[in-house]
Structure 1
């Protein structure tokens, strides 16, 4: 079991690492490639576009040929693309390589969640996904700190050399450690025919156009949009509005990373006493509280401590509920876990990129951008959790634990 957890964690890490590690090097990259920083900020959207473009296909391939081949191919593409980013001598080459990075990271991201769906039951999967979230959500806030430390002694190309090394490590794990977990559909159906309790479940197709799955898709998309919005506006809020220098900014991001990790690792413990839906409600209330604290700090008491509390609540609220929501979204699917993971990933990537792009186009201030998604996301998610607390039916071979 440990091998599957290790490989899943490693596969997921490629996605946030490639987003956030290079951000501190943007000024130097722009200077060397003869581009403006605004042009290179397109690399964020292009990377997400690469992920979105490949996720659905990766999910289908993972369900058809297996998890391991897709993981190896995805990691290999990521390695090549990262090396090309570091060797780029023009903006066009850099952006093309970033798109290819998204293809590799998207393939690995989909496979990671499919593996966990294959190997864990509902309750254990909820706890593991919360722990996984603790590791992955720390990357967006700590990667800029690591990037800053790297660039104190090395040029910006070293950031992509680091990504290449991470990709090589993931590829080695996928080749030598990961074992295939794709369910054998024919074998499962033969087993089910000898189990009266599962005959009815086998007859029910795994459908994606169901209210429960769509509700969890929306909730996870809102959560990812919230945390990525925070990561993207944090330099402007912390170094601009609050007047902190780069070193102080790094300290704040490290502190919020600690909050994220602590909250994520406490979530599995909380699941021993609380229902999954209860923990999800708590997470949304924490996000709403974060919005209220930030409003008070801006319009009422202009206090740096309140800003920091708001940032901490934002990271904590996301960390508490995201893993549980992902588990609930994947629970009804066993034979189509790859496609389910793809749809979740596409929704998260597209909603994040579209929201950040739209807010920038409208000229919304960084603080208002964060406040809008905190309030809107928490209200919509609370409504969906209260209305759709449990799945309408379970997938083959699994009785879903009710969370209502």
Structure 2
């Protein structure tokens, strides 16, 4: 992998702009978490049933990215952003009009189909402009900025619930979508040159997907990043039940407990950037894998205890989630390094696989029969250990190519 920069140095403003587009995901996922019990009461279903709007959103993210990726490689990055941001703003309002929880699930899928465009285009834009080392730093820096979203989102949601019904949260999300749409128009410059665009039809898209997935330089780090990152989705799907139902936290207390773990991602992402000169991209990926596994094991121990101390549960969650600050950006940088003009499609595959893991995790949680902490811990251990095995496979592959 070349260490030569292939584009101009990136600015902090550019990173913040991409982080804003990408933050639609965590904002849409985390902001309404404190409202789940209230929404369940309004729709006359259980909190667990209304929480299924989370894996529904993951499904929309997984499907949408597969669509945007090849389209962006054909027509560029800016036009899909226009469409996706507009769809997101409209779908956020449709969530308010949902007459039942099934309609809400459908609206959430539509909302995700719009919002996921930012994730794909941000990754592709970074790959369009930067080499692997610079990409790793850019992804880490973007994660620091983007990390504000999951920290602030539940807090904002809890504060809004003091003054408005849960529908107000989705009105705010719609407004944020419109702001992103304006930012696309006025501040985002196209990063994929016309001469570098791929002329793809449907058959060629399928061939392109197959070609990328057969590429070990992409497939192995993609699996490492997706499996390690799945612990975050396990946490998100279970957090309300653990903190509010299990430990009796109020909406505001839950928001701050949730934000603490999100702060861990920001902290580790900052460390990831600072350690770039001392450790290679892969070394930082491996460090993150071990951090996440250790956190999942601590959480598993807590799950077997009767009335586990909340501090122990928080410690396990913190490590299992914050380690993503190492695994996420570094796995992404390694996976995208060799993708060139097909970066949009490669980004879409990786993003889709990540949220497919979230969808699978959310579905599995519905069928596990232990208490909520143990259910989450078992799933986190399985995902993080699988991610660590994939990281070792990446190491073997890198050694073979040296």
Normalised by the length of structure 1, the TM-score is: 0.85
Distance 1:255 1:33, change over 3 A: closer
Tell me the distance in 1 between the aligned counterparts of 2:320 and 2:401: 24
Counterparts in 2 of 1:62-81, with a 5 A limit? 62-81=72-91
Q: Secondary structure at the match of 1:180?
A: coil
The residue that corresponds to 1:389 in the other structure is 395
Q: Shift of the alpha carbon at 1:373?
A: 3.4
8 Å Cα contact 1:21-1:146 kept in structure 2: yes
Would you say 1:237 and 2:242 are equivalent positions? yes
Q: Secondary structure at the match of 1:361?
A: coil
Q: Shift of the alpha carbon at 1:95?
A: 2.9
The residue that corresponds to 2:375 in the other structure is 369
Counterparts in 2 of 1:108-257, with a 5 A limit? 108-140=118-150, 142-185=152-195, 207-257=212-262
Tell me the distance in 2 between the aligned counterparts of 1:293 and 1:249: 21
Q: Secondary structure at the match of 1:29?
A: helix
Would you say 1:100 and 2:106 are equivalent positions? no
Tell me the distance in 1 between the aligned counterparts of 2:93 and 2:248: 36
Distance 1:26 1:387, change over 3 A: closer
- Unaligned stretches of 5+ residues in structure 2: 1-9, 199-209
Among 351, 355, 365, the alignment partner of 2:361 is: 355
Tell me the distance in 2 between the aligned counterparts of 1:224 and 1:27: 26
Counterparts in 2 of 1:210-359, with a 5 A limit? 210-299=215-304, 302-359=308-365
Deviations 1:118-169 (A, max 9, x none): 1122111101111222343453454222211111111111101110111011
Tell me the distance in 1 between the aligned counterparts of 2:353 and 2:24: 18
Distance 1:294 1:88, change over 3 A: closer
Would you say 1:50 and 2:56 are equivalent positions? no
Normalised by the length of structure 2, the TM-score is: 0.86
Among 23, 28, 35, the alignment partner of 2:33 is: 23
Tell me the distance in 2 between the aligned counterparts of 1:187 and 1:247: 48
Higher alpha-carbon deviation: 368-377 or 108-117: 368-377
Aligned residues, how many? 380
The residue that corresponds to 1:195 in the other structure is none
Distance 1:39 1:256, change over 3 A: closer
Q: Shift of the alpha carbon at 1:242?
A: 4.0
Distance 1:268 1:35, change over 3 A: same
Tell me the distance in 1 between the aligned counterparts of 2:303 and 2:368: 21
Tell me the distance in 2 between the aligned counterparts of 1:238 and 1:182: 45
The residue that corresponds to 2:202 in the other structure is none
Distance 1:348 1:104, change over 3 A: same
The residue that corresponds to 2:201 in the other structure is none
Deviations 1:174-198 (A, max 9, x none): 111101111444699xxxxxxxxxx
- Unaligned stretches of 5+ residues in structure 1: 189-204, 394-401
Higher alpha-carbon deviation: 310-319 or 281-290: 310-319
8 Å Cα contact 2:140-2:270 kept in structure 1: yes
Q: CA RMSD in A?
A: 2.7
Structure index of larger Rg:
1
8 Å Cα contact 2:55-2:358 kept in structure 1: no
8 Å Cα contact 2:154-2:259 kept in structure 1: no
Tell me the distance in 2 between the aligned counterparts of 1:403 and 1:310: 36
Tell me the distance in 2 between the aligned counterparts of 1:373 and 1:133: 24
Distance 1:243 1:87, change over 3 A: closer
Distance 1:187 1:321, change over 3 A: closer
